[in-house]
Structure 1
């Protein structure tokens, strides 16, 4: 078998250009995909930014994943997944969203194999390099055709958004309405609320995991309270029914005793009359 004509540079991992990709055999394509790193190369690595960065990106993925699962819409979501566009250096946004694809586990997003690019990218900025997120990524993501790009500045509590208009390769800033940014890709609104990035649908905030748990706990408490109340009502009803049955049995017993007393009185009266008749007959 001829040697693979394309080699991945571990210091600058890239997918081959689309022209090169189309000339490869399926076996060669599979070997290239397997050789693409699924972790950050040194050139892309950045110092960790702590809990605020981690929690913001994970919360966004969880909230969006829960919402789209409930409405039955196929949206693939990932955090810091290596993304490979043809001939481009690998990059890994904090959150990506790709519409209308199967939500399965992936080690990387390779546009040539998925036949689709990223629809939305979200970066969370805490203490990192601002020019990367607010300048270089704005140019790069627009050039790659990523339809929407949002930056949540966790440190300064600011939100910025850009959208790629039809036929353009440069972003247009998304103008907020009273602090609310609309995402056409997600069909949702974004807003900073109490130091958090929140998503809204129809004006209502999408619940976060702890809020869903709290709601479920309250529902369970209400159901349990209703169950206990119903059990109490059933127990009281059973007690009343048993008391009613006891009273009916007591009434029946008293009637039977009264009937027996009457029979005994009638028998005694008959015996007395019979004895009186006998005595009268003897006296004659």
Structure 2
């Protein structure tokens, strides 16, 4: 649990959890985890890009009630390191992008209070994704901060969105949110795809080793 000492020596606690269980479907939990994983791997070489999600985000010093826990968020200009909580007055950087995976329980807050709060905090881009396509039409929506208000990000003909802050192209594919580098077009692989690619690479290495041994044995004969 994170704390600070005030001049009056009152100890203010900033809990690392709200004590509430995550009441989401397997699909929602999977998407949150996999988006965090994809973004973390994509920005792993960037020392000043921090990716997190479901972390207690405190935005008002001295007020533990001023807290939100974005499903996924990215901050540019802060150290890429593990944190227990995120305190805006210490980091001095608001997220450049926030993703909320919308559900029955969160859809009204995602489009209302959270949207207004993120705009007030200066979050430049805000994305909503409904993996079950039950509540949002279209299921993927993006907003960019213009002044003090969000304006919708225009969709491509296929419904994809461009994140200027992240340099990524986003589109929905069934219950999955797909991401790709907007400059190169290279898709960010999901964890299962990364594992499959690793296995294919290992199989190819073994095939090459066997071929080398075969050629070596043939030359010796």
* TM-score bucket of the superposed structures, by smaller chain: 0.7 to 0.9
SS at match of 1:38: coil
When the two chains are superposed, the root-mean-square deviation of aligned CA atoms in Å is 2.4
Q: How many Å separate the matches in 2 of 1:47 and 1:195?
A: 19
Aligned length: 209
Q: Indicate yes or no: 2:162 matched with 1:185.
A: no
Q: How many Å separate the matches in 2 of 1:38 and 1:111?
A: 15
Which of 187, 191, 203 is residue 185 of structure 2 equivalent to?
203
Question: CA, structure 1 residues 210+47, in 2 after alignment: closer, same or farther (shift >3 Å)?
Answer: closer
Q: How many Å separate the matches in 2 of 1:117 and 1:160?
A: 21
Q: Indicate yes or no: 2:72 matched with 1:95.
A: yes
SS at match of 1:205: coil
Kindly provide the CA deviation profile for residues 88-111 of structure 1, in whole angstroms up to 9, marking residues without a partner as x.
Answer: 721101011101221212111101
> Who is 2:194 aligned against?
212
Structure with greater strand share of residues: 2
Q: How many Å separate the matches in 1 of 2:156 and 2:74?
A: 23
Q: Indicate yes or no: 2:98 matched with 1:121.
A: yes
Gaps of 5+ in 1: 1-14, 240-284
The structure with the largest alpha-carbon Rg is 1
> Who is 1:60 aligned against?
35
Q: Name the TM-score, length of structure 1 as normaliser.
A: 0.68
Structure with greater helix share of residues: 1
Q: How many Å separate the matches in 2 of 1:99 and 1:28?
A: 33
Instruction: With a CA cutoff of 8 Å and minimum separation of 6, indicate the structure with the bigger relative contact order.
Output: 2
Q: Name the TM-score, length of structure 2 as normaliser.
A: 0.86
> Who is 1:221 aligned against?
203
Q: Which runs of 4+ in 1 moved over 2 A?
A: none
